[in-house]
Structure 1
Amino acid sequence: MLNSCEAMAVLPAKDLKRAREFYRDVLGLEPAEENEAGLTYRTTAGSGFFLYETDNAGSAKNTQVSWTTDNLEKEMAELRGRGVVFADFDFPGLKTENGIAELGGERTAWFTDSEGNIHALGQRA
């Protein structure tokens, strides 16, 4: 039933103006649509997410958006150059080196946006 429907992530922002600046200045994204409810972003790969203002932003402790790239180190270097800090983990089942974890054939790195939302950046083997 839902396989023909478009799906999109929904991200909260405590400060929509600040979030918009982060997505523009740090991630290089501009909204494809804008209305009183929030901002819709779309990638050229066909995915997207909706960003809206709420006091609940930053409360989730799980990955909320996952990005896939063909060159993880290159993307990380560019994002680091724009001020992104990648998380480091060292506990059973998850250890990062230089911000990258090896997970079942995928290499993944995590960062947070200006609103505390957790993003993953991964490269499939």
Structure 2
Amino acid sequence: MTEDDSALLSGARVATRLPAADLDRARRFYAEKLGLRPVDERPGGLLYRCGGTDFVLFRSTGASPGTFTQMGFETDGDLGAVVAELRRRGVVFEEVDAPGLRTRDGIAEIEGNYPSKGARGERGAWFRDSEGNLLGIGQPVR
């Protein structure tokens, strides 16, 4: 690999792709529970835009294992209020009890944070969409 090759993808945009066995069911979940509407759709896929970034739900015959966070939303608002509103809309949050990570009423207080975010920690919560994809919501703690 040459020096120029090391920057091969540095200018590329990152685009999340989430599988959906039933796009109509997924569309309803994202609209009714999360308040999101597709900005574009094609046969077999729905494109969503949040905060200047995109993600796609695509028709898939495979199923998501849902054993890890597949996509995360980051909020600068109060995570507790966001979780409460999503619960009011019928979203079910995961309870986690693992070494170094425990939720209380669906929210985990996480020590440290990703180096580039300039925060001292993060609050996090996880839920599954209608297709079994595990999604997270984080709030940097400054």
Category of TM-score, reference length = shorter chain: over 0.9
1:6 aligned to which of 3, 13, 21 = 13
Q: What is the aligned-residue RMSD (CA, Å)?
A: 1.1
Q: Deviations over 1:72-99 (max 9, x none)?
A: 0111111001000111111222111111
2:108 aligned to which of 98, 101, 104 = 101
Match in the other structure for 2:56: 50
List runs of 5+ in structure 1 lacking aligned partners.
none
Equivalent residue of 1:86, what SS? Answer: coil
Residue identity opposite 2:15 in structure 1: M
Larger Rg: 2
Residue identity opposite 1:15 in structure 2: D
Match in the other structure for 1:111: 127
List runs of 5+ in structure 2 lacking aligned partners.
1-7, 112-120
Residue identity opposite 2:16 in structure 1: A
Residue identity opposite 2:108 in structure 1: A
Residue identity opposite 1:68 in structure 2: E
Q: TM-score, normalised by structure 2?
A: 0.83
Residue identity opposite 1:116 in structure 2: G
Q: TM-score, normalised by structure 1?
A: 0.93
1:30 aligned to which of 29, 34, 37 = 37
Residue 70 of structure 2 is aligned to residue 64 of structure 1? yes
What is the percentage of aligned positions where both structures have the same residue?
Answer: 48
Residue 22 of structure 2 is aligned to residue 15 of structure 1? yes
